[in-house]
Amino acid sequence: MKSWLQRNAKRIDRTLALLTTIVITLFCLIPLFWVFSTSLKPMGSEYLIPIQLWPEEPTLNAYRNVIDELGFLTPLGNSFLVSLSTAILCLVVSATAAYAVARLRFQFKVQSLVLLQLGAMIPPVVTIAPTFVLLKEIGLLKSLPAMVIPNVFYSVPLATWLLASYFAELPFELEDAAKVDGYRPFQIFLRVILPLSLPGMFAAGMFAFIGSYGEFMLASVVTLGIKDVQTIPVAIQNFSFAFRQQWTWISAGVVLAILPVITIVLIFQRWVIRGLTAGSVKY
């Protein structure tokens, strides 16, 4: 005679799994829900007690204010410009490097990869002051490229590794066949390997994009006081200090700022997992 527990083991297991899923979902989304609901409240009502979890009359006024009066679209545009150029330049630099690492034979291969990965571990706080000086000397301070150029190399180590692990999976017969067809080495890279690695390229580009979209320390120093070149993180930070009571506005800004990254990450969800584990897990 089986006990009730044993008879319903499958159903209990399923219920528990679903319950855990719900708990995790709440854990991940509640702070975001809170900000989203605040952003829909009429100005001032975010301080009403008892606290409303969802506004009685949702309004988009905060968004209108943030966009029209605070000019939030400027930092949003800046951030896109910076992150997109970073991603593209990073792909150019790291795809070639990854090709060398994954498909070509040369000495010091492991050493040069270690060099790259060790570099990525250097905390930004150690490099920020000299980087600031360097950018000042080449006359880039208070401009968008001042963020792009360092960000490119901040993203290169991860992108190189991710792409190398992607290139390494392609069959080596590809190169042999291309050589027979008379392709020169650079053509092999450009016409054979790259087209086959588009998903990997997108993923690496996405990491560079997200990394530089959220980069704050350098951006805060480089754009000091210049509103035209502020990126999203700097703008949000300044908002939350300038209008420290207007949380409907700040929340609207936050929602506008995170919508693009969340969309991108959800599209490339599979690649996030793969990209982050490229370092720790050998596929």
Partner 1 sequence: METTFLSVARILLVYILIVGLIFLGLVMLARAWAAARQMRTRWRGLTAAVGGLYVLAALVFVVRPGLAAAPAALALAGSLMLGIGLGRVRRLNLREPELALLFILPAVVGIFLFYYYQIAQTLIYSLHTLEYTTAWSSETFIGLRNYISVWNSPNFRAALGYTLYFTGVAVFFEFWIGLGMAMTTFWVGGRLAGVLRSIIIIPWAIPPIISAAIWKWFFNADVGLDSLLVQWGVLEKVPIFLVDPILARHAVIVADIWKMSSMIAILMIGGLAIIPQDIYDAAKVDGARGFYRFRRITLPLLTPTIAVALLFRGMDAIRTFDLIYGLTRGGPGVSTETLSSLAYKFYFSRAQFGLGSAYGVVVFLIVLLLGVFYVSRIRKNLRFKGA
Residue in 128, 190, 192, 196 binding partner 1, rule: CB under 8 A: 128
Name residues contacting partner 1, limited to 52-91 (CB under 8 A). none
Based on the shown chain and the rule CB under 8 A, indicate whether residue 48 belongs to the binding site for partner 1.
yes
Are 206 and 159 in contact by the 8 Å Cβ rule? The answer is: no
Q: Which of 81, 74, 83 has the alpha carbon at shortest distance from 253?
A: 74
| Helix axes of 247-267 and 232-242: crossing angle, nearest 10 degrees | 160
Amino acid type, 30: I
Residues 6+ apart with CB under 8 A from 132: 141, 218, 221, 222
What is the DSSP-derived secondary structure letter of residue 53?
Answer: S
ω into 233 cis (within 30 of 0): no
Shortest Å distance, C-beta 198 to partner 1: 19
Stretch that binds partner 1, among 27-35, 60-68, 69-77, 194-202 (CB under 8 A): 27-35
Are 38 and 253 in contact by the 8 Å Cβ rule? The answer is: no
Name residues contacting partner 1, limited to 233-272 (CB under 8 A). 233, 236-237, 239-240, 247, 250-251, 254, 257-258, 261-262, 264-266, 269, 272
Are 236 and 146 in contact by the 8 Å Cβ rule? The answer is: no
Name residues contacting partner 1, limited to 201-230 (CB under 8 A). 210, 213-217, 221
Question: Which lies closer to partner 1 via its Cβ, residue 67 or residue 113?
Answer: 113
Name residues contacting partner 1, limited to 161-180 (CB under 8 A). 164, 168, 172, 175
Based on the shown chain and the rule CB under 8 A, indicate whether residue 43 belongs to the binding site for partner 1.
no
Residue in 3, 125, 195, 225 binding partner 1, rule: CB under 8 A: 125
Based on the shown chain and the rule CB under 8 A, indicate whether residue 104 belongs to the binding site for partner 1.
yes
